[in-house]
Amino acid sequence: MLPRRKARALSFLILMLSRLSVSRKPYPVPTNAILREARQLHSVSDRLDSLAEQHPLVSAALTTISGNVRQTATLLEVLVLTRMGPPAGPADA
């Protein structure tokens, strides 16, 4: 679970994103491509966690970086869903 401060910041960000005007036409951006990048970031985060377990000398730093990467991936997903809506077709693998 996220610490309270980070959870509040994430909730605030989601709230602000949801309040942005969706009536403006954003530049066309492929939703599935952004979601694919978010999945890749989640994979990077998992690999960093694995490395942290294997290398105790840099474990804390790798865990911190892994958490930041995971949060970035989550923010990308939130951005897509709040600004662009769910993908229209099946997501690319």
pTM of full prediction above 0.75: no
Distances (CA, A) of 35 to 3, 29, 64, 76, 90: 25, 11, 23, 7, 11
Cβ(31)–Cβ(84) below 8 Å:
yes
pLDDT band at 92 (very low <50, low <70, confident <90, very high): very low
Question: For residue range 6-63, what is the model confidence (pLDDT) as tens digits?
Answer: 666 666 666 666 655 454 455 556 888 889 999 999 999 999 999 999 999 999 999 9
Please state, in angstroms and rounded to a whole number, the distance separating the CA atoms of residues 28 and 69: 25
Residue type, position 78, single letter: V
Cβ(75)–Cβ(16) below 8 Å:
no
